[in-house]
Structures are given as structure tokens and as C-alpha cells.
Amino acid sequence: MRNNLKKEESQLDGIDARLIELLYDNARTPVTELARAVGMTAPSVNERLKRLEESGVISGYRVEVNPLVLGYSLMAIVRMRQLPGKMKALEAQIDSIAEIVECDKVTGDDCYIARLYLKDISQLDPILDSISELADTNTAIVKSTPVTRRLLI
């Protein structure tokens, strides 16, 4: 398999890019519909998808859940700067907080930037309290998302 980053970058042609766009919009699009959209046969599209998967360009097919429908009306970004000697404990604590749906370890003044969803603001303080012995935090409530996660092709 060619999913090793040290290997050459995969080159996408227009058909590959279109297939990825279609699947990004709806990962459940049937192969026959994908084939029709790009003017190819279903077996040819299957072969292209297999090649894109084996090369690591397509790494999975996911369901996107709308947090609002589940009652999560607030999104917050928490920047964390670990206290000395607390990195492993902080990582474990971050991992244990179900409301944290994404977290990046970053360079700069902060060490981690986490995105979390809350049903209401009263949930925020207990989460921050559970982190406070391990890191200094800075929190922002997200008002809107002008750019959602987008396709990188």
C-alpha cells in the first residue's frame, strides 16, 4: 500500500477529483451513480476508487452528525498550555472528556487546541476545572463557522 507520506504524492486527474467531490458530499453515493456522473462504467469507477483507497488518498467513509440536532447548541475552542511535567496526564484527561470531539497538539504559546460541543454553558466550567490542575486554558465560544471543514483538492 502506498499510504506512506515519504512516497511520491498521488496525482489526481479530473475524474479522480470529481469522484472525491461526489463522495465528500455523500459517501453513500452508489457506484453506478458515480459512474454516470463522470461518464465511465461502474467497474472502471470501482477500480479508480480502489486505487485511491490503496494510495491513501481516500482513507475512509464517514457519517457526519449534526450536533445541534442532538442538543449540542454551543461549540467552544479551548487552548491549553500544559503545566510543567503534565503533558501525559493532560493528554489522558483530554482523551477522557467526551465533549471534546477534536484536539490538535500545536506549536507556539499553546500546546493543545481542542474543539468541544456543549448542551449549555453550565457544562463548560466542570470541564475546565478538570483540566486546570494540568494546564492553563483560554476559551472562546464559537459564534459561527464561516468555513466548515472543506475538501482539499
CATH number of 74-141: 3.30.70.920
Q: Where are the domains of the chain?
A: 14-54, 74-141
Same fold, 14-54 and 74-141: no
CATH number of 14-54: 1.10.10.10
Q: What is the DSSP string of the chain?
A: ----TTSPPPPP-HHHHHHHHHHHH-TT--HHHHHHHHT--HHHHHHHHHHHHHTTSS--------TTTTT--EEEEEEEEEPTT-HHHHHHHHHH-TTEEEEEE-SSS-SEEEEEEESSGGGHHHHHHHHHTTEEEEEEE----SS-S----
Instruction: Say yes or no to pLDDT of 2 above 60.
Output: no
Instruction: Say yes or no to pLDDT of 129 above 90.
Output: yes
pLDDT at res. 4: 43
Give the mean pLDDT of 20-37: 96
Instruction: Say yes or no to pLDDT of 26 above 60.
Output: yes
